[in-house]
Amino acid sequence: MTTARAAAILLSKELRLEFRTRELLTTTIVFALVVVVLFSFAFEPTTAESRRYGPGLLWIAFLFAGSLMLNPSFAREQSNDTLDALRMAPISPFAILLGKMLANFIFLAIAEAILVPVFGVLYNVSFVAVAGRLIFVLALGTLGLVVTGTVFSSISAHARMRELLLPLLLLPILTPLLIASVEATARLLTDPPELDRTWVAFLAGFDIVFMTASWLLSDYLVEE
Amino acid sequence: MKGRVTFALIASALMVFGGYAALYIAPDEKTMHAIQRIFYFHVPNGICSFIAFFIVFIANFAYLATRRPKWDWLGVAGAEVGVACSTIVLITGPIWAHPVWGIWWTWDARLTSTFVLWLLYTAYLLLRGFLDDPQRKAMFSAVFGIFAFLDVPLVYFSNRLWRTQHPQPVILGGANSGLDPTMGKVLLLCWVAVACIMAIAIADRYRLERLRYEYEELRFEVESRGTDARTQVEERR
């Protein structure tokens, strides 16, 4: 079986599992909303300030929500030892990682699709004019987040205190991604909006580096 | 054993002489005066932390390639010493910056990168603490270490693009840069002293980790024999 086909099957399994309960999605979305609401209490921003700090706030919310959401990705395979079953399947270990990365990408993308418009309404920032470019930046940033996040979720699943450990591993690694995503998003809110080539290229580079690394190291990650 | 003691004595002598040279032999800096002398301690530790983290990367890579536990011992030794060195860098930096820049800290490319580097390798050490199975600990921390190392240039370049304030490299920084020859010699001496201490610390930590590993192996063997004996006794009953 090709890696792509195996990953597609695993993806459909992850989606089916999640949409039966929608536990992960609801908690992630509500958590991110709480962060966005708390922002207004902490800073009382004006519209101009929201445009200035909004991109940073949004990405912080995505990063925190992601580091919460990615935890069960591998941890929930443990209660019934289903990871062993996956390992025994005649597929490449990278397919297991890839299927989970794609599923996590979809979950986080759904959360973002809800969160961004809500943020726009609450803080009076319009994203309509730049929707296409914003989706492009969000996709690149989210990809980097879920690639590293899924890899670290497979590591932290075996550790004690894994819920605490995952953000600790993930967030420092993601600092370059945070800077690049925030800068690229902020450029879209300036007048006139522009797609900053440097930061977009940087994000693409980040995604490629860590996607390649997880492909090369997948044998070790999914092994016994 | 004797060799190690001699080496430690040489390193201490170098360190004492390096301290003396930094305080009394090196000429006074034109604008910063005495506070500039912390540079003889700050820079060597910075270089040593990079060397230590590079050793961690090599060890991680070698562990994944060979699966021999000795590379894991080297990895943890390098990471602990590297974190210690960069802690010194992060403490001496603000002590210098406060009188010279007027602020303790700024979110400049190098400062931020060093801080993130410190966080990454602290996370590496924490991760090891939370993984119980020794083989898993070695393998997962090696994978994490490689990810962390790949992240270092990305952290640096993202911050560089973002903002920068740290003094540009003085030694190889271009046309108008350069160090007074005496200052250069003192810096080299201090660097050799710190590097020797780093080497001793890594070697000692490596030995400690090896002992710990052997102890765990022995304990495991004793325990499994104990269980075997107990089951045999029970079976006989």
Which tens digit of pLDDT belongs to each residue from B94-127? 998 888 888 888 887 788 889 999 999 999 999 9
Q: Do A168 and B159 touch (CB under 8 A)?
A: no
d(CA B198, CA B192): 10
**DSSP 8-state class, residue A191:** S
> Is A104 a residue whose pLDDT tops 90?
yes
**DSSP 8-state class, residue A223:** -
> Is A114 a residue whose pLDDT tops 60?
yes
Q: Which residues of B touch A209 (CB under 8 A)?
A: 150, 154
What contacts B95, CB < 8 A, 6 or more positions away? Answer: B35, B38
d(CA B133, CA A94): 23
> Is B170 a residue whose pLDDT tops 60?
no
Q: Which residues of B touch A206 (CB under 8 A)?
A: 154
Top residue of A217, A218, A223, A224 to mutate, by most chain B CBs within 10 Å, is A217
Q: Do A172 and B120 touch (CB under 8 A)?
A: yes
- Give the domain range for residue A72: 3-222
Q: What integer pLDDT is reported at residue B111 of this predicted model?
A: 86
Q: Number of CB pairs < 8 Å for A and B?
A: 79
Q: Contact B19/B44 with Cβ under 8 angstroms?
A: no
Q: What integer pLDDT is reported at residue B171 of this predicted model?
A: 54
> Is A2 a residue whose pLDDT tops 70?
yes
> Is B148 a residue whose pLDDT tops 60?
yes
The gap between the terminal CA atoms of chain B, to the nearest Å, is: 52
Q: Do A172 and B130 touch (CB under 8 A)?
A: no
pLDDT band at residue B134 under the 50/70/90 scheme: confident
**DSSP 8-state class, residue A174:** T
ipTM: 0.90
pTM check: above 0.95:
no
The gap between the terminal CA atoms of chain A, to the nearest Å, is: 21
| Closest approach of A165 to chain B, Cα-based (Å) | 7
Q: What integer pLDDT is reported at residue B9 of this predicted model?
A: 92
Q: What integer pLDDT is reported at residue B108 of this predicted model?
A: 79
Q: What integer pLDDT is reported at residue A141 of this predicted model?
A: 95
pLDDT band at residue B158 under the 50/70/90 scheme: confident
Q: What integer pLDDT is reported at residue B169 of this predicted model?
A: 57
pLDDT band at residue B230 under the 50/70/90 scheme: low
d(CA B171, CA B129): 39
In our burial notation (b when 16+ CB lie closer than 10 A, e otherwise), range B166-181 reads beeeeeeeeeeeeeee
Chain-wide mean pLDDT for chain A? 89
| Closest approach of A185 to chain B, Cα-based (Å) | 14
Q: Is the dihedral of CA B68, B71, B77, B80 positive or negative?
A: negative
Q: Do A217 and B143 touch (CB under 8 A)?
A: yes
Q: Do B162 and A152 touch (CB under 8 A)?
A: no
Q: Which residues of A touch B130 (CB under 8 A)?
A: 159-162, 165
Q: What integer pLDDT is reported at residue A217 of this predicted model?
A: 92
Q: Which residues of B touch A223 (CB under 8 A)?
A: 139
| Closest approach of B155 to chain A, Cα-based (Å) | 5
> Is B175 a residue whose pLDDT tops 60?
no
Chain A residue with minimum CA distance to B152: A173
The mean-pLDDT minimum among A91-105, A164-178, B65-79, B223-237 falls in: B223-237
Q: Contact B27/B40 with Cβ under 8 angstroms?
A: no
Residue B38: closest CA among B51, B26, B53: B26
Q: Do A162 and B130 touch (CB under 8 A)?
A: yes
The mean-pLDDT minimum among A80-89, A147-156, A198-207, B61-70 falls in: A80-89
Burial class of residue B193 in the structure, from the number of CB atoms within 10 Å of its CB (0-12 exposed, 13-18 middle, 19+ buried):
buried
> Is A95 a residue whose pLDDT tops 60?
yes
Q: What integer pLDDT is reported at residue A211 of this predicted model?
A: 95
Q: What integer pLDDT is reported at residue A149 of this predicted model?
A: 95
Chain A residue with minimum CA distance to B138: A220
**DSSP 8-state class, residue A71:** H
Compute the half-sphere exposure of residue A13: CA atoms within 13 Å on the CB side of its CA: 17
% of chain A exceeding 90 in pLDDT: 50
d(CA A172, CA A192): 33
Mean pLDDT value across residues B9-22:
90
Q: What integer pLDDT is reported at residue B235 of this predicted model?
A: 66
Q: Contact A60/A31 with Cβ under 8 angstroms?
A: no
d(CA B87, CA B105): 14
Q: Do A175 and B155 touch (CB under 8 A)?
A: yes
Compute the half-sphere exposure of residue B148: CA atoms within 13 Å on the CB side of its CA: 34
Mean pLDDT value across residues B64-81:
94
Mean pLDDT value across residues B121-135:
91
pLDDT band at residue B133 under the 50/70/90 scheme: confident
Among the partner-chain residues B64, B120, B136, the one whose CB lies closest to the CB of A158 is: B136
> Is B33 a residue whose pLDDT tops 80?
no
What contacts A91, CB < 8 A, 6 or more positions away? Answer: A1, A3, A6
Q: Do A206 and B150 touch (CB under 8 A)?
A: no
Q: Do A217 and B120 touch (CB under 8 A)?
A: no
Among the partner-chain residues B127, B154, B162, the one whose CB lies closest to the CB of A206 is: B154
Q: What integer pLDDT is reported at residue B237 of this predicted model?
A: 60
Q: Which residues of A touch B60 (CB under 8 A)?
A: none
Top residue of B144, B154, B155 to mutate, by most chain A CBs within 10 Å, is B154
Mean pLDDT value across residues A52-77:
89
> Is B32 a residue whose pLDDT tops 90?
no
Q: Which residues of A touch B147 (CB under 8 A)?
A: 148, 151-152, 173, 210, 213
pLDDT band at residue B10 under the 50/70/90 scheme: very high
d(CA A40, CA A122): 9
Top residue of B86, B107, B116, B158 to mutate, by most chain A CBs within 10 Å, is B158
Number of domains forming the structure of chain A: 1
Mean pLDDT value across residues B128-147:
91
Top residue of A155, A161, A199, A212 to mutate, by most chain B CBs within 10 Å, is A155
SS (H, E, C) A79-141: CCCHHHHHHHCCCCHHHHHHHHHHHHHHHHHHHHHHHHHHHHHHHCCCCHHHHHHHHHHHHHH
Q: Do A169 and B154 touch (CB under 8 A)?
A: no
